[in-house]
Amino acid sequence: MRCPECGAPGYRRKTKTPEWRCTRPYPRCGFEWDDAILELLEEEERRLNDQTELEAFRLEADGRKRQLRSEQEVRHRKEKNKQRGGWFATVAFFIGLFIGRQLTDSASGSLLGGILFGFAAYWLGDHWDDLRS
């Protein structure tokens, strides 16, 4: 069995307590242990490894939650921009109809003005956050 302190081979003493002793010659370790102590050390190491693994899982899960939350925020902002663009386009279409009618005195000019104003307003509403920053 190997020494839990230095890893050198140990020898078993059948009649003495503790049962095992390290045989490392230089620098002399001299560590003595029983099988029960070794089992406790191994159990503590396993528990520490489990805690480390759980902490890594928790950090990974937190990272995924943060990423999911940021993706949801981006999706919500895009949907909000589309709604804003739709409202801007609707209002601008009617304003464009009025301005086109005043400038051209024709239905086709009015319709063209409404479409152009509506498209420009939709683009403005869709890119509102990008333009503000």
With residue 110 as reference, give the H or E element that holds it.
Answer: helix 107-126
Strands (E), the chain: 10-12, 20-22, 32-33
- For the chain, what is the domain count? 2
Q: What is the pLDDT along the chain (133 residues), one digit of tens a residue?
A: 677 777 777 767 776 767 777 777 677 787 776 776 767 778 888 889 889 999 988 988 888 888 888 888 888 988 888 888 888 888 888 888 888 888 888 888 888 888 888 888 888 888 877 777 7
Assess whether 40 and 24 both reside in one domain: no
133 in any annotated domain: no
Closest CA to 91 of 59, 54, 121, 113: 121
| pTM reported for the whole predicted model | 0.43
Q: At 119, which amino acid appears?
A: F
* 118 assigned to some structural domain: yes
Whether 4 maps to a domain, the answer reads yes
Find the domain containing 5 and state its range.
1-33
| 113 in the same domain as 87 | yes
Structure tokens at 66: 């943060």
Look at residue 120 and tell me if it is in a domain: yes
